[in-house]
């Protein structure tokens, strides 16, 4: 082929395939967020992954609610050593969402915002993490091509309980809330998270991936109210089912509560990495995850994998 | 440059940056701006189900996914027309096209568009990909990232794809 042929081919292609396409990105984004495509088809394997994320950042999801207020104080008086599932129905989950906005009962502040940084290798990430990172010694079949590593810097969130605000919310929303105990009014609970390492592994095709999270156990402090005070306040909340209340009552002194939706997931204690961990599986079998704590570090492995693969990765960390 | 590299972690940022490029890439195949936007919406919907905005190769994934979704759309349209017995005639339905001054011109433009679509479908997948990426406005470097090939090979591969495309187009217009 000579040069003129090549020029002619390019010209034909440019004529046939060229042209500008005006795009209104804002309108496109509104369409995307409001349309069915963005909402439909959440894969079932995301459910246990979401559970893992909830557990890994359990304080964020739990602490800054009245229920979490209980968890906060709970954590001030012990060092968590194990994960304990709290089984909730879908209806329970919906009820708990009523209390998700901490601003309804107090004032929350982001005292220190964690910053996420990407690294190309574990050794590079290690220089920015205050504990020894571990990597999978064994990867499931097909993995090993694409890895991404992230480090989250320490962060801190606070919630100061405010009885007047809670009463105003109750009036505004026509809800009946229990009176806030005087010792709780004005109490500030603060969650401080340490370094968090997140390794993302994927096959590079088929959308298969899994996550490994390693983090220092978060610390929660309280400026006033006792555990018992917080506990009574939480359990007096409306819509807390008797089954949920009894599970909260029964939580062990060294347990981290992990919410599990029994309509979609199942949880069981397993032996992992030489200690007891909590395995959570999607009821469809499409996804699984396991959480455990060892030597002061919390670990999570999860993704659209079989439980066997997840446990193989978890037990092979080195 | 520090080892640490801040990665944008907000999906909105990725959407704002890449949506026009995804539409542009898809348009090379659909030759219809509304269809190209539909493809882009589908691609981003797939993205949020499968990937994270912080992935370093997220743009490359989006660009290639746009091509696959657009080509699959054309193929399924073709199969549907085959089933309905209307496959042989290019330009079965007329699309209003900007710049068409009269019905004859409109028919001609629709015929051309259908020929382009059919030529792209008949091409080898890699040839269609490199054409859509290049004429969609991507640089050689970005094309190399999306197709997982050496940037030094792009020129040769593009020329080969343009030649194959020209032949298919001539075949369609006979």
Print pLDDT tens along chain B (174 aa): 222 333 334 688 889 999 999 999 999 999 888 889 999 998 988 887 777 776 778 899 999 999 988 988 887 776 666 655 543 444 334 344 444 455 555 455 666 778 888 889 889 989 999 999 999 999 999 999 889 888 899 999 999 999 999 998 888 766
A131 touches chain B (CB under 8 A): no
B2 touches chain A (CB under 8 A): no
DSSP A35: S
Pick the more confident residue, A147 or B84.
A147
Instruction: List CB contacts (< 8 A) between A124 and chain B.
Output: 3-4
A28 touches chain B (CB under 8 A): yes
Fold of the B11-89+100-173 domain: Butyryl-CoA Dehydrogenase, subunit A; domain 3 (1.20.140)
Domain regions of chain B by residue span: 11-89+100-173
Instruction: List CB contacts (< 8 A) between A19 and chain B.
Output: 27
pLDDT band for A248, please (50, 70, 90 cuts): confident
pLDDT digits (tens, 9 = 90+) for A278-287: 898 876 666 7
Crossing angle of the two packed helices A3-17 and B125-135, in degrees rounded to 10: 70
Any alpha helices (H) in chain A, and if so which ranges?
3-17, 25-34, 36-39, 46-56, 58-62, 66-76, 90-97, 122-126, 163-173, 227-235, 242-250, 307-315
Whole-complex ipTM? 0.79
DSSP A103: G
Domain regions of chain A by residue span: 44-315
Shortest CB distance from B169 goes to which of A12, A22, A128?
A: A12
CB pair distance less than 8 Å for A28 and B19: yes
Distance (Å, rounded) from C-alpha A180 to C-alpha A235?
Answer: 12
Q: How many CB atoms within 10 Å of residue A125?
A: 22
Instruction: List CB contacts (< 8 A) between A5 and chain B.
Output: 163
Cβ proximity of A170 and A236 under 8 Å: no
pLDDT digits (tens, 9 = 90+) for B67-111: 988 988 887 776 666 655 543 444 334 344 444 455 555 455 666
């Amino acid at each position: 082929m000579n040069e003129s042929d090549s020029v002619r081919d390019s010209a034909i292609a440019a004529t046939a395939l060229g042209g500008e396409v005006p795009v209104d990105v804002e309108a496109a984004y509104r369409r995307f967020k409001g349309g069915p495509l963005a909402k439909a088809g959440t894969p079932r394997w995301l459910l246990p992954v979401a559970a893992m994320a909830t557990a890994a950042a359990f304080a964020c999801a739990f602490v800054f609610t009245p229920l979490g207020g209980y968890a906060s104080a709970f954590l001030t008086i012990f060092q968590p050593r194990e994960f304990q599932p709290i089984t909730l129905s879908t209806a329970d989950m919906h009820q708990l969402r009523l209390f998700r906005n901490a601003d309804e009962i107090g004032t929350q502040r982001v005292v220190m915002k964690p910053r996420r940084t990407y690294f190309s290798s574990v050794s590079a990430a290690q220089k920015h993490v205050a504990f020894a990172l571990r990597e999978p010694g064994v990867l499931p079949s097909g993995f090993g091509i694409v890895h991404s590593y992230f480090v989250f810097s320490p962060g801190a969130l606070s919630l100061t309980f405010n009885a007047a605000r809670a009463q105003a919310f109750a009036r505004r929303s026509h809800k009946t809330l229990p009176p806030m105990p005087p010792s709780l009014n004005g109490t500030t609970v603060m969650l401080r998270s340490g370094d968090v390492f997140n390794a993302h592994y994927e096959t590079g095709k088929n959308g298969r991936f899994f996550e490994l999270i390693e983090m220092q156990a978060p610390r929660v402090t309280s400026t006033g109210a006792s555990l018992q005070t917080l506990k009574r306040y939480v359990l007096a909340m409306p819509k807390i089912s008797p089954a949920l209340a009894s599970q909260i009552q029964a939580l062990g002194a060294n347990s981290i509560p992990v919410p599990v939706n029994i309509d979609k997931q199942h949880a069981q204690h397993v032996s992992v990495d030489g200690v007891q961990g909590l395995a959570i599986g999607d009821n469809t079998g499409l996804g699984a995850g396991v959480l455990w704590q060892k030597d002061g570090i919390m670990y999570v492995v999860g993704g659209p994998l079989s439980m066997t693969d997840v446990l193989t990765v978890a037990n092979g960390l080195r | 440059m520090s080892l640490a590299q801040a990665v944008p972690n907000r999906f909105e940022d990725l959407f704002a940056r890449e949506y026009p490029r995804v539409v542009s890439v898809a348009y090379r195949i659909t030759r219809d701006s509304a269809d190209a936007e539909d493809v882009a919406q589908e691609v981003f919907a797939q993205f949020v189900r499968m990937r994270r905005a912080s992935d370093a190769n997220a743009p490359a994934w989006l660009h290639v996914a746009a091509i696959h979704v657009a080509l699959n759309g054309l193929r399924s349209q073709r199969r549907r027309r085959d089933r309905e017995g209307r496959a042989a005639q290019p330009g079965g339905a007329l699309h209003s096209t900007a710049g068409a001054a009269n019905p004859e011109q409109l028919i001609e433009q629709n015929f051309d568009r259908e020929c382009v679509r059919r030529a792209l479908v008949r091409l080898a997948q890699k040839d269609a990909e490199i054409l859509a990426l290049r004429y969609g406005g991507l640089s050689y470097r970005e094309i190399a990232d999306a197709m997982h090939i050496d940037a030094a090979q792009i020129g040769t591969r593009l020329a080969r794809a343009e030649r194959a495309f020209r032949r298919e187009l001539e075949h369609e217009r006979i």
